[in-house]
């Protein structure tokens, strides 16, 4: 579990996060949503420790990250996996070498066991063996994301962060990536935090949804409740797409019909 308590972060004079307090639960796909510029990425990077917060606490199962020394943060990060928006695969290495890298850096097992683990991770994300020797530039965007997920789970992390995992992907591939993230979260019982403004993803895999507006926590809940929230900014975000407008209309019609039946 990751607990964010009263976190504030500013860059020069601009306050980007304002007294944000959130709990991200273990074994669940926690989604951070919000409009562009709402502070989603800053919040995620602050939780990971890439930004130093101005005040507040960020606790990984009770361990407060801002109080830690660099060496302790580095040790904690070995329990963290991250999927970047652009995949961030190492250009100079092949697909297999990318997944082997964290194992070679931090694992004390034999080379054969490392290879076995790397192959397991690659097969878990449904990548075929013919792609293992290719470099990241030689594979598609969807495959790059899958390699990045395989690399992120290689060391069996307790925490998984995904920054806009569907960025640049077609709807079908986006769905595959979403489902992969969700399955891995449940299978390995990890705390997953996903940064997204893709409402399809939110509705597909969001167990715990956190809505940020202008750096503040504006709403937190689940996907069942999200359609009935009395928050204009959240409604503007959710119902921005035609698909969700249709869903809203259908819900309203159903509710009206239920009310009529009740009265009758």
Q: Return residues touching other proteins (CB under 8 A).
A: 48, 50, 74-78, 80, 82, 84-86, 88-91, 101-102, 104-106, 161
The answer to whether the CB of 85 falls within 8 A of the CB of 167 is: yes
CB of 79 to other proteins, least distance (A): 9
The residue among 110 and 128 lying less far from other proteins, judged by its C-beta, is 110
Best CA proximity match to 103, nearest among 94, 95, 115, 92: 115
Please say which residue, 13 or 91, places its beta carbon nearer to other proteins: 91
Contacts of 138 (CB under 8 A, 6+ apart): none
- CB of residue 235 vs other proteins: minimum separation in angstroms? 33
Whose Cβ is closer to other proteins: residue 163's or residue 178's? 163
For the CB of residue 134, give the shortest distance to other proteins in the complex, in Å: 17
Minimum CB separation of residue 72 from other proteins in Å reads: 10
CA distance to 83, 99, 178, per residue, from 127 (Å)? 16, 12, 16
Using an 8 Å Cβ cutoff, are 198 and 35 in contact? no
> Which of the 8 DSSP states describes residue 179?
H
Q: Which is closer to other proteins, CB of 20 or CB of 82? A: 82
Smallest separation (angstroms) from other proteins to the CB of 238: 29
The whole-angstrom separation of Cα 94 and Cα 67 is: 37
Q: Please, what is the minimum distance in Å from the beta carbon of residue 84 to other proteins?
A: 5
Comparison of 136 and 244: residue with beta carbon closer to other proteins: 136
Strand spans (E) along 168-215: 191-195, 208-213
Nearer to other proteins, 85 or 220 (CB): 85
Give the separation between CA 208 and CA 24, rounded to whole angstroms.
8
* DSSP code per residue over 6-70: EEEEEETTEEEEEEEEEEE-TTSEEEEE--TTSSHHHHHHHHHTSS--SEEEEEETTEEGGGS-H
């Amino acid at each position: 579990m990751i607990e964010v308590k009263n976190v504030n972060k500013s860059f020069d004079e601009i306050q980007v996060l304002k007294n944000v307090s959130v709990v991200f639960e273990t074994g669940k796909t926690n989604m951070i949503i919000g409009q562009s510029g709402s502070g989603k990425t800053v919040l995620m990077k602050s939780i990971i420790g890439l930004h130093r917060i101005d005040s507040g606490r960020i606790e990984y199962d009770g361990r407060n990250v801002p109080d830690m020394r660099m060496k302790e943060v580095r040790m904690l990060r070995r329990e963290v996996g991250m999927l970047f928006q652009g995949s961030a695969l190492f250009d100079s290495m092949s697909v297999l070498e990318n997944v082997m890298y964290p194992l070679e850096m931090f694992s004390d097992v034999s080379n054969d066991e490392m290879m076995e683990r790397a192959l397991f991770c690659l097969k878990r994300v449904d990548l075929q063996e013919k792609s293992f020797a290719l470099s990241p530039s030689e594979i598609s965007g969807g495959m790059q994301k899958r390699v990045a997920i395989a690399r992120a789970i290689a060391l069996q992390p307790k925490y998984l962060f995904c920054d806009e995992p569907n960025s640049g992907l077609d709807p079908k591939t986006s769905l595959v990536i979403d489902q992969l993230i969700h399955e891995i979260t449940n299978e390995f019982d990890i705390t997953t935090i996903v940064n997204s403004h893709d409402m399809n993803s939110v509705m597909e895999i969001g167990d715990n949804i956190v809505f940020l507006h202008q750096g503040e926590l504006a709403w937190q809940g689940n996907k069942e409740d999200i359609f009935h929230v009395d928050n204009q900014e959240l409604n503007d975000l959710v119902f921005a797409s035609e698909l969700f407008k249709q869903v809203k209309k259908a819900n309203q019609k159903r509710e009206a019909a239920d009310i009529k039946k009740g009265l009758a």
